[in-house]
Amino acid sequence: MGRSAIILVIGFTLIFVMTGRNLSSLGTTAFTTAINYYENTQGHNIAEAGANFACNQIFLSPNWRSGYSNVSFGGGTFTVTASPVSGSINQVQIVSTATYQGNSFQENILLQPSGFSKFGFWGGTGASAAAWETGDTVTGPMHVDGTLETYGQPVFTGKVTTKNGWNNLLPPQLPQFQGGYQTGVSLPLPTTAFPKLDSTAVAGGYKRVGSDLYLQFNANGTVTWRNTAAGTPTTVPITTLAPNGVLEVDKGNIYVQGTMSGQLTIFANKSSGSTGGQVFVQNDLVYATDPRVNPASTDMLGIVAMGDVTLLDNGASTFNMMASTYSQAGGLAVQNYNSRNSGVLNVIGGMIVQNLYATSNGATGASRRGYNLSLQYDTRFLVSSPPSFPSTGSYEILSWWE
């Protein structure tokens, strides 16, 4: 009887031990799975925190490159480096590496200087006086350095930022902010942009002072220039005339037209005095390769002027201009807008203007004069810009690998 009892006890004990072991093993496996998921999430979050810290530093101080080393955070550590990308124009690579529970996690962020050409529309205080109404569509990023006035339901497909908020003149109809809306963002045109562009033109571009310049672009990558409208023409490759892509006329005006192949920024400066600083577009100004047809087109034109960029009255009912236009103190003007033939003004690129001018007389039917403005954003300007186009002074994210 005693032996049987002992065997019985040992047998049951073995059964319980095996059962307990199996249950414990399953419990441990489940716990390990949960812990692994938690550790991966936490490690990723720490790396992301390091990347956010670095982005914030560069936002506050664009020249920040000191990085972080072994910063304790969230039970782990992160190390961040910020270094220039070789072979690029001022791009910065941020690498944030987190260590958590012996595992390593990494995030890579590529930044580049943000140029004003990235805007489909940038409007200064003067431009903010005009209201965007039902039927208006703005593509690409938009900023108003004042108050955004809306009337009805205009559509903004890109992100809209304003300095002083948004005023809806026709409630309850609301504008469509498809790319988001943010207020409290001050982004004035920089006063340092023109001296910088001037020194670039002097250093390796083209500069003339005190007289006008007439440019006729040719589809083969050359440009025919004259000193007057009927002057002697000289034809040279754009890359010969302005090797670094910046062409400046100071205290004079630039007259331009034609089909452009290549990359150039024409710059009408007015460093002193009261003359010059304007650009006059005589006829269609288009790219040899239309980026709407071929997004791989490398043709890019920047028009930078101290004053207005004016489309001269050529009698045509359709006027095409492909460029990103930057006017420090003026806007995009249509000559004889209330008396010229009615039609459409196609702007493919962007408008960065202090003032917004009327392009038509506003009438309908037979009494209609001037142009309807069709502004189509050139999406290539999201990642690239015409040569030495004015910069906002801050960086923007090109890609974020996590």
Partner 1 sequence: MGSQVILDIISSSFVFGTLLVMALRLNGSVTENLETYNGEVIVQDNMCNVVNLIQYDFRKIGYCLDPTQIPDPTKAIILADTDRIKFYTDLSDATHPFGDGSLDIVYYYLGPTSELSMTPNPNDRILYRVVNNAPPKGSNLGVTKFSLMYFGALNDTLHTPVANPGAIWSMQITVQVQNYSMASLHYNTAKFDNPITQSYWRQMRLVSRNLKNR
The window from 24-32, 65-73, 76-84, 319-327 that contacts partner 1 (CB under 8 A) reads 24-32
CB of 126 or CB of 179, closer to partner 1: 179
CB–CB of 139/159 below 8 Å? no
185 near partner 1 (CB under 8 A): no
CB of 341 or CB of 379, closer to partner 1: 379
**Residues 352/353/356/361 CA torsion (nearest 10 deg):** -70
Distance CA 129, CA 133 (A): 13
CB of 177 or CB of 206, closer to partner 1: 177
Residue with tokens 């506050």: 60
165 near partner 1 (CB under 8 A): no
- Binder among 6, 10, 23, 363 for partner 1 (CB under 8 A): 23
85 near partner 1 (CB under 8 A): no
CA 48 to chain centre: 24
Nearest to 255 by CA among 213, 219, 292, 295: 213
- Binder among 113, 126, 179, 221 for partner 1 (CB under 8 A): 179
241 near partner 1 (CB under 8 A): no
40 near partner 1 (CB under 8 A): yes
Q: Which residues on adjacent β-strands are paired with residue 33?
A: none
84 near partner 1 (CB under 8 A): no
CB of 294 or CB of 372, closer to partner 1: 294
- Binder among 6, 10, 14, 15 for partner 1 (CB under 8 A): 15
180 near partner 1 (CB under 8 A): yes
Site map (CB under 8 A) of partner 1, residues 47-66, x = contact: --------------------
- Distance in Å, CB of 104 to partner 1, minimum: 12
Q: Supply the DSSP symbol for 145.
A: S
- What long-range pairs does 330-334 form, CB within 8 A, spacing at least 24? 330/278, 330/305, 330/306, 330/354, 330/355, 331/126, 331/127, 331/355, 331/356, 331/357, 332/308, 332/357, 333/308, 333/309, 333/357, 334/310, 334/358, 334/359, 334/360, 334/370, 334/371
- Binder among 81, 153, 178, 314 for partner 1 (CB under 8 A): 178
384 near partner 1 (CB under 8 A): yes
Residue with tokens 């090797």: 243
283 near partner 1 (CB under 8 A): no
Q: Residues near 291 by Cβ (< 8 Å), separated by ≥ 6? A: 297, 299, 322, 348, 378, 379, 380
Quote the strand ranges of 169-220, DSSP E. 176-177, 181-183, 206-209, 213-217
Which residues of this chain interact with partner 1, rule CB under 8 A?
8, 12, 15, 19, 22-23, 26-27, 29-30, 33-34, 36-37, 40, 108, 110, 118, 141, 157-159, 177-181, 295, 379-380, 382-384, 396-402
